[in-house]
Homo-oligomer: A and B are copies of this chain.
Amino acid sequence: MLNFFSGGESHGKALVGILEGFPKGVKISLEFINRELQRRQAGFGRGKRMAIEKDEVEVLSGLRAGVTLGSPIAFLVRNKDAYIEPFLKDNLPPLAIPRPAHADLLGALKYQEKDIRNILERASARETAIRVVAGSFCKQLLSEFKIEVLSHIVGLGKIILPKGAVSLAEIRRKTKDSLLNCIDKEKEREMVEEIKKAQNKGDTLGGIVEIVCEGLPFGLGSFMSWRERLDARLSYALMSIPAVKGVETGLGFDYARLRGSQAHDEIFYSKNRGFYYKTNNSGGIAGGISTSQPIVIRIAMKPIATLKEPLSSVDLITHRKKKAPSIRSDVTAVVACGVIAEAMTAFIIAQALLEKFPSDTLSSLKKAYGFYLKTLKG
């Protein structure tokens, strides 16, 4: 089964990933992966660390001359700002003040730890660089089947775009020179204003990202067991992104307000298209299975947890009231969150694709996929 595993501390030597179960024979662009890593570091509102780290992947196994071998793909993303040594003593002072809304306190209690550094180094969202690399491999596999995933920002602070279908072509075109990966120039200007205002107050912002995936066939995912449902698996993968607090597919929470007659996508047929829908309220998934419509998911990100004007906390050792430390100074990272969400979406879709079709080699996968597409016209 397609899967990936990761290790790495935020200021350790490197982040490390292993992507297992990837088929043989897929041509991989190194530039594409590095571009994805850079997209993760971009977006208006990011702070200093992003200037220090220009992430680049170093692939160590699983490819030869740019083509996958079918073997596990192992890779590194080195930390330029690295000071945690596996075997040497550093002289870093222990961190004793947990930052609210982080894992700091929770990890310290769970692991009976007095130096919060030993918690936050792994709990840090820096880990998501590995997800972006894994996802960028999956995107390149999916592109062989003309399946593509993109995200765009539909909310930042209180500036929120109205819901509405957007195609990938539209997203690509309209976000071209966007500071915030937003398809609406006017709203983007307001978002930038919001960020500046928050920055001035030493405050932070969250937002809402929409992920769109086009090109899926009918039939990925399954209702045979709860674990196999495609929306459940996407929800798992997306809610696992640090700071994500909500996930909805299609109409999502708005579904609750509508009657069945208003909400459900009716079924149509034409000789050319086979079965199809005219609406996509379901967001491309029903009964845990892809409907061949675009997958549309929205996720909510909470504001960055570390504030320049810090919140109230307590010293782990002395139990005295203290201001939380202010380690980094991003105001918002919603654009990055979108890139990570694309990666996790691509990973889950690729996994579902490789479950339904033979996965040893790209050529056998393509053969079976092509044959399946023919059966769909029925």
Contact = CB atoms under 8 A, between A and B. Distances in A.
A93 interface: no
8 contacts: A69-B122, A155-B256, A157-B257, A203-B259, A208-B256, A256-B301, A264-B303, A267-B314
Contacts of A164: none
B123 A223 contact: yes
B72 A87 contact: no
B103 A289 contact: yes
Given A20-B225, A314-B269, A250 B256 contact: no
A269 B318 CA distance: 10
Given A250-B245, A311-B264, A106 B287 contact: yes
Which interface class (under 10, 10 to 19, 20 to 34, 35 or more) fits A?
A: 35 or more
A324 B268 CA distance: 12
Interface string A50-81: 00000000011111111001111110100000
Given A86-B61, A358-B356, A101 B313 contact: no
A118 to B, nearest CB: 6
Contacts of A291: 106
Contact of A18 (B18, B107, B282): B18
Contact of A157 (B74, B105, B113, B256): B256
A186 interface: no
B239 A100 contact: no
Contacts of A201: 259, 261
Nearest to A287: B103
B319 A378 contact: yes
A313 B267 contact: yes
Contacts of A324: 267
A141 B350 CA distance: 27
Given A106-B219, A106-B290, A253-B208, A60 B86 contact: yes
B259 A205 contact: yes
Contacts of A12: 60-61
